[in-house]
Structure 1
Amino acid sequence: MFFASDNAGPAHPKVMEALVRANDGHAMPYGVDPIMDDVRTMIRDQFEAPEAAVYLVATGTAANAIALGTLAQPWETVFCSPEAHIHEDECNAPEFFTGGAKLTLVPSIDAKMTPDALRKSIAYEGGRGVHGPQRGPVSITQVTERGTVYSLDELGALTAVAREFGLATHLDGARFANALVALGCTPAEMTWKAGIDAVSFGGTKNGLLGVEAVIFFDPKHAWEFELRRKRGAHLFSKHRYLSAQMQAYLTDGLWLETARLANANAAHLAKGLTDSNDAQMVYPPQANMIFAEWPREGHQRLHDAGAVYYVWAGELKGDDPAEPLQARLVCDWSIGADGVDRFLEALRG
């Protein structure tokens, strides 16, 4: 009953098998291995972007921060929601890798920026001449850190605002596959066809051991990203072990299969929570992450039964058994219906 994070789940067996195969013999280092050649082709095909520049790093923070460092100058600001992963969970890595660019927090609804709020925030910045930050890229987290998903129309509306001001748009897709299967669209439709310029294409949360792709749809950014990745100490020598994971991820739709499993687990859990009558959804659950609240006594039963998840708001230890506490529950591909059912049974007592 582990619902703390999709980072905590196991790597898929097919990924481990691919690593064993990649470990046979010798291969050139630093991303010139033959497996990486295949990965570039596979990603370009999936995204319908034959000219895209494709690179791998080991962590989502590296993917986001180095991509934004490539898109933003040190004197610029990056526009994002207050709940964006680059703001909440990356220890100022974007500011560090951009050389000092700041983050401007755009008001959000259900953790999603709105076009009007983005336009107002961009209009405000850049109006103080040399004395204020200059306008920089927009960064969108998809799936958001509250489990909501931007529709294609919402993405297109935000990128249209960015283009009004001549700004690039970055998509933080740590849970890219979960959003994609939730929307039932293609990778191209959720990225460059919606106006996205660069993507952090996640795999670690969705069945990989540890690898993320960075994709620039305009290859003009390629050389600068390569230099920033090396300077930032994120160019792997034995790169084939990153390449092998991503190759397995993309082979025969494994990345979509694991995302569908994770989303289905979350949908099953959300329905069970709603049917319990004690639980209320805080945000609409749209992918593999749920925010819900129910009485303290239910949380205490779950923790006593060995359930692992974050109590997001409120204290587990308290005197009032009826006080509602908020939980964050994240499903990965491996939990299965049985794990969800055990959780719901423990909640009901």
Structure 2
Amino acid sequence: MQFLSDNAAPVHPAVWAAMAAADDTDRPYDADALSARLDERFSLLFEQECAVLWTSTGTAANCIALACLVPPYGGIVCHSEAHIEVDEGGAPGFFTHGAKLLLAPGEGAKLTPQAIAQIIDPVRDDVHQVQPHAIAITQASEYGQVYTPGELHRIGAYANMRKLRLHMDGARFANAVAYLGCSPAQASAAHGVDTLAFGFIKNGGMSAEALVFFDPSLAAQARYRRKRAGQLQSKGRFMAAQLLSMLEADLWLHNARHANAAAGELAGGARDRLLRKVEANEVFMTLSAPEAAALRAQGFSFYDWGENAVRFVTCWNTRAEDAAALARAIAAL
């Protein structure tokens, strides 16, 4: 009973079917008929014109976006526990050719305008210091916390006032939208987000993420950066097929709702053990080493998350009976 990561979840059958249907002669790279549909389909989803490129990893989507927003000598304000800081192996600096991450604090790995100002206000406007050019936030955050439309509006307004671009790492964007019950636009673009790395792999995809530009003019340079980064796959139609299949009948949202519901089941068993409110598909709680060992002995797999703390992640295919069994096992500790 796997609660390690949604990266370990299987590929959704609809995605396999779409890839099989795409296995036909077509134009190479991103000149195929399926890739040509992405801009229109995502523009419909987000209720505004946007340009969309597929990439094979979330790291590439995040970092190509940031490279389009920030010069090599610039700075990117992000949370000190942001994925781009902690888990991308220096990729932001590699893709941007040297841009610096400016680390800000924040409860639940979320940023506020006040936290951002705390980092950038002391920066002198001269060549001796790295000047901020962008803000990067994660929806949902690295601790499964979701930015509300109001919080996004305040960050977007602050970014606009300071003439900073705004990027959103949306590895679990679907789970955030499912939690909020709002439109995808209200969870992102409507509040000044310039670029979004829309995650599909964690949510039932196989190897495709969507890099969404709400300022379509940025996409032209992104195509060159994607090629230079080794991300332009010769059979791109299989990438586009995955994204389009997940948008069909809102499969992306259905999958996220299922994962969120399973996480809610675990939260019910955890009660006062919870370290943070469960808002998406990640559950952080306190467990002693013997308690964690007892759960593992019952067949549950999960990650330790510091001393006497663990993380459980639910997925689009988490069985209701497995979530219920784990919730009962936690409650019985």
Please give the range of the TM-score, normalised by the shorter of the 2 chains.
over 0.9
Task: Tell me if structure 2 keeps the 8 A contact 1:301–1:346.
Answer: no
Say whether 1:170 aligns with 2:167. yes
Q: What value does the CA root-mean-square deviation take over the aligned residues?
A: 1.2
**Cα distance, 1:223 vs structure 2:** 1.2
Q: 1:216-273 CA deviation, whole Å, 9 max, x = no partner? A: 1112211110111011111111001101111110001100100000000101111122
Q: Distance in 2 between matches of 1:40 and 1:88?
A: 31
* 2:198 partner amino acid: F
Tell me the secondary structure at the aligned position of residue 37 of structure 2. helix
Aligned to 2:236, which of 235, 239, 245?
239
**Cα distance, 1:179 vs structure 2:** 0.3
Aligned to 1:301, which of 294, 298, 317?
294
* 1:193 partner amino acid: A
List gaps (5 residues or longer) in structure 2. Answer: none
Q: 1:70-125 CA deviation, whole Å, 9 max, x = no partner? A: 11001101000112111111011011100000100111112111211112222223
Q: 1:191-222 CA deviation, whole Å, 9 max, x = no partner? A: 22111111111100100011111111112211
Match of 1:129 in 2: 126
Aligned to 1:84, which of 76, 82, 85?
82
Q: Distance in 2 between matches of 1:165 and 1:133?
A: 15
Match of 2:36 in 1: 37
TM-score normalised to structure 1 length: 0.92
Tell me the secondary structure at the aligned position of residue 131 of structure 1. coil
Kindly tell me the number of residue pairs found equivalent between the two proteins. Answer: 332
**Cα distance, 1:128 vs structure 2:** 5.0
**Cα distance, 1:30 vs structure 2:** 1.1
Q: 1:269-290 CA deviation, whole Å, 9 max, x = no partner? A: 111221xxxx511111111011
Match of 1:141 in 2: 138
Match of 1:61 in 2: 59
Q: Distance in 1 between matches of 2:281 and 2:223?
A: 32
Task: Tell me if structure 1 keeps the 8 A contact 2:108–2:142.
Answer: no
Match of 2:268 in 1: 271
**Cα distance, 1:62 vs structure 2:** 0.3
Match of 1:209 in 2: 206
Q: Distance in 1 between matches of 2:115 and 2:11?
A: 39
Say whether 1:227 aligns with 2:210. no
**Cα distance, 1:41 vs structure 2:** 1.6
Q: Distance in 1 between matches of 2:240 and 2:274?
A: 39
Tell me the secondary structure at the aligned position of residue 300 of structure 2. coil
Q: Distance in 2 between matches of 1:343 and 1:109?
A: 27
* 2:82 partner amino acid: A
Match of 1:150 in 2: 147
Tell me the secondary structure at the aligned position of residue 171 of structure 1. strand
**Cα distance, 1:21 vs structure 2:** 0.9
Q: Distance in 2 between matches of 1:216 and 1:73?
A: 17
TM-score normalised to structure 2 length: 0.97
List gaps (5 residues or longer) in structure 1. Answer: 315-324
Q: Distance in 2 between matches of 1:302 and 1:215?
A: 40
Q: 1:277-316 CA deviation, whole Å, 9 max, x = no partner? A: xx511111111011101333321111112211101112xx
